[in-house]
Protein backbone atom coordinates (compact mmCIF):
# COMPACT_ATOMS: atom_id res chain seq x y z
CA UNK A 1 0.00 0.00 0.00
CA UNK A 2 1.18 3.52 -0.74
CA UNK A 3 -0.18 6.59 0.95
CA UNK A 4 -0.44 9.55 -1.39
CA UNK A 5 -1.15 12.96 0.10
CA UNK A 6 -3.11 15.17 -2.29
CA UNK A 7 -4.01 18.86 -2.18
CA UNK A 8 -6.11 20.70 -4.75
CA UNK A 9 -6.93 24.29 -5.65
CA UNK A 10 -10.20 25.16 -7.37
CA UNK A 11 -12.17 28.11 -8.65
CA UNK A 12 -15.34 27.21 -6.77
CA UNK A 13 -16.94 24.94 -4.19
CA UNK A 14 -17.94 21.85 -6.21
CA UNK A 15 -16.68 19.89 -9.24
CA UNK A 16 -18.64 19.99 -12.44
CA UNK A 17 -20.14 23.41 -11.92
CA UNK A 18 -16.66 24.72 -11.07
CA UNK A 19 -13.15 23.58 -11.91
CA UNK A 20 -10.12 22.06 -10.25
CA UNK A 21 -7.37 24.48 -11.26
CA UNK A 22 -4.32 22.66 -9.91
CA UNK A 23 -3.35 19.82 -7.62
CA UNK A 24 -0.28 18.30 -6.10
CA UNK A 25 0.46 14.84 -4.77
CA UNK A 26 3.30 13.41 -2.70
CA UNK A 27 4.13 9.76 -2.02
CA UNK A 28 4.53 9.34 1.73
CA UNK A 29 7.91 7.82 2.51
CA UNK A 30 10.87 8.98 4.56
CA UNK A 31 12.23 11.08 1.63
CA UNK A 32 9.05 12.79 0.36
CA UNK A 33 10.82 13.20 -2.98
CA UNK A 34 8.17 11.79 -5.34
CA UNK A 35 5.64 14.43 -6.30
CA UNK A 36 3.14 15.22 -9.04
CA UNK A 37 1.83 18.62 -10.11
CA UNK A 38 -1.01 19.24 -12.51
CA UNK A 39 -2.61 22.42 -13.81
CA UNK A 40 -6.00 21.96 -15.47
CA UNK A 41 -7.93 24.12 -17.88
CA UNK A 42 -11.36 25.11 -16.50
CA UNK A 43 -14.26 22.84 -17.45
CA UNK A 44 -17.03 25.42 -17.05
CA UNK A 45 -17.56 29.10 -17.45
CA UNK A 46 -18.44 29.43 -13.76
CA UNK A 47 -15.85 30.61 -11.30
CA UNK A 48 -15.75 32.51 -8.05
CA UNK A 49 -13.06 35.21 -8.12
CA UNK A 50 -12.30 34.80 -4.40
CA UNK A 51 -11.88 31.03 -4.73
CA UNK A 52 -9.68 31.42 -7.80
CA UNK A 53 -7.55 34.06 -6.04
CA UNK A 54 -6.43 31.45 -3.49
CA UNK A 55 -4.65 29.58 -6.29
CA UNK A 56 -2.65 32.66 -7.27
CA UNK A 57 -3.71 32.36 -10.91
CA UNK A 58 -5.89 34.64 -13.00
CA UNK A 59 -8.78 33.31 -15.06
CA UNK A 60 -6.83 34.16 -18.20
CA UNK A 61 -3.87 32.09 -17.01
CA UNK A 62 -6.04 29.08 -16.18
CA UNK A 63 -7.55 29.09 -19.66
CA UNK A 64 -4.06 28.23 -20.94
CA UNK A 65 -3.62 25.23 -18.61
CA UNK A 66 -3.59 21.61 -19.78
CA UNK A 67 -6.53 19.53 -20.91
CA UNK A 68 -8.05 17.93 -17.77
CA UNK A 69 -8.30 14.46 -19.32
CA UNK A 70 -4.60 14.52 -20.22
CA UNK A 71 -3.64 15.67 -16.72
CA UNK A 72 -5.71 12.92 -15.11
CA UNK A 73 -4.14 10.33 -17.42
CA UNK A 74 -0.66 11.55 -16.44
CA UNK A 75 -1.63 11.46 -12.77
CA UNK A 76 -2.96 7.90 -13.09
CA UNK A 77 0.29 6.84 -14.77
CA UNK A 78 2.37 8.57 -12.06
CA UNK A 79 0.37 6.73 -9.38
CA UNK A 80 1.02 3.38 -11.12
CA UNK A 81 4.75 4.12 -11.47
CA UNK A 82 5.29 5.41 -7.93
CA UNK A 83 3.06 3.43 -5.62
CA UNK A 84 3.41 -0.08 -4.25
CA UNK A 85 0.13 -1.94 -4.22
CA UNK A 86 -3.13 -0.13 -3.67
CA UNK A 87 -2.76 3.66 -3.48
CA UNK A 88 -4.44 5.29 -0.48
CA UNK A 89 -5.65 8.89 -0.92
CA UNK A 90 -5.13 11.12 2.10
CA UNK A 91 -5.56 14.85 2.49
CA UNK A 92 -6.01 17.66 4.94
CA UNK A 93 -9.64 18.16 3.91
CA UNK A 94 -10.65 15.08 1.98
CA UNK A 95 -14.28 16.18 1.87
CA UNK A 96 -13.08 18.84 -0.56
CA UNK A 97 -9.93 17.44 -2.16
CA UNK A 98 -11.34 13.92 -2.63
CA UNK A 99 -14.57 15.27 -4.10
CA UNK A 100 -12.69 17.00 -6.93
CA UNK A 101 -10.12 14.27 -7.63
CA UNK A 102 -12.69 11.47 -7.57
CA UNK A 103 -15.08 13.41 -9.80
CA UNK A 104 -12.33 14.29 -12.30
CA UNK A 105 -11.09 10.69 -12.49
CA UNK A 106 -14.57 9.28 -13.06
CA UNK A 107 -15.70 12.06 -15.37
CA UNK A 108 -12.64 12.02 -17.62
CA UNK A 109 -11.31 8.45 -17.31
CA UNK A 110 -14.37 6.49 -16.09
CA UNK A 111 -12.23 5.02 -13.29
CA UNK A 112 -10.36 6.07 -10.17
CA UNK A 113 -7.08 4.34 -9.21
CA UNK A 114 -7.79 5.17 -5.55
CA UNK A 115 -11.08 3.27 -5.60
CA UNK A 116 -13.99 4.67 -3.60
CA UNK A 117 -12.51 5.86 -0.32
CA UNK A 118 -10.04 8.25 1.21
CA UNK A 119 -8.54 9.22 4.55
CA UNK A 120 -8.53 12.55 6.39
CA UNK A 121 -5.29 13.56 8.07
CA UNK A 122 -7.01 15.54 10.81
CA UNK A 123 -9.15 12.58 11.85
CA UNK A 124 -6.07 10.37 12.20
CA UNK A 125 -4.38 12.97 14.41
CA UNK A 126 -7.47 13.59 16.54
CA UNK A 127 -7.85 9.85 17.07
CA UNK A 128 -4.23 9.48 18.13
CA UNK A 129 -4.49 12.23 20.74
CA UNK A 130 -8.09 11.31 21.67
CA UNK A 131 -9.35 14.87 21.16
CA UNK A 132 -11.71 15.77 18.32
CA UNK A 133 -10.68 19.43 18.63
CA UNK A 134 -6.92 18.83 18.49
CA UNK A 135 -4.86 21.08 16.25
CA UNK A 136 -2.07 19.56 14.16
CA UNK A 137 -1.05 22.09 11.51
CA UNK A 138 1.88 23.29 13.64
CA UNK A 139 3.54 19.93 12.88
CA UNK A 140 4.11 20.85 9.22
CA UNK A 141 7.70 21.68 8.31
CA UNK A 142 6.88 22.97 4.83
CA UNK A 143 5.00 26.26 4.95
CA UNK A 144 1.39 26.14 3.75
CA UNK A 145 1.50 28.37 0.64
CA UNK A 146 -1.48 27.18 -1.44
CA UNK A 147 1.01 25.73 -3.89
CA UNK A 148 -0.57 22.28 -3.89
CA UNK A 149 2.74 20.38 -3.91
CA UNK A 150 4.02 22.40 -0.94
CA UNK A 151 0.77 21.85 0.91
CA UNK A 152 0.71 18.11 0.15
CA UNK A 153 4.33 17.82 1.31
CA UNK A 154 3.57 19.66 4.57
CA UNK A 155 0.68 17.30 5.23
CA UNK A 156 2.85 14.28 4.40
CA UNK A 157 5.35 15.56 6.98
CA UNK A 158 2.58 15.49 9.58
CA UNK A 159 1.73 11.89 8.68
CA UNK A 160 5.40 10.95 9.08
CA UNK A 161 5.50 12.73 12.46
CA UNK A 162 2.46 10.73 13.57
CA UNK A 163 4.21 7.53 12.51
CA UNK A 164 7.70 8.28 13.82
CA UNK A 165 6.93 10.31 16.94
CA UNK A 166 3.43 9.29 17.99
CA UNK A 167 3.36 5.59 17.15
CA UNK A 168 0.79 5.57 14.35
CA UNK A 169 0.85 2.08 12.89
CA UNK A 170 1.14 2.64 9.16
CA UNK A 171 2.97 0.67 6.50
CA UNK A 172 4.87 2.99 4.16
CA UNK A 173 6.61 0.39 2.00
Q: Provide the annotated active-site residues.
A: 146
Contact 124, 162 (CB under 8 A): yes
Rounded CA separation 21/15 (Å): 11
Residues 157 and 168: beta-carbon distance below 8 Å: no
Backbone angles phi, psi at 51, to 5 degrees: -65, -45
How far from 56 is each of 9, 82, 143, CA to CA, in Å? Answer: 10, 28, 16
Amino acid sequence: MSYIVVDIESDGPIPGDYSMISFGAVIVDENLDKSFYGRLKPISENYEPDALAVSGFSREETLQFDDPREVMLRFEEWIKENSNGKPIFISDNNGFDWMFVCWYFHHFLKRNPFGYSSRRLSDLYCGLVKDTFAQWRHLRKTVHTHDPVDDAKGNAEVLLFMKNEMGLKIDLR
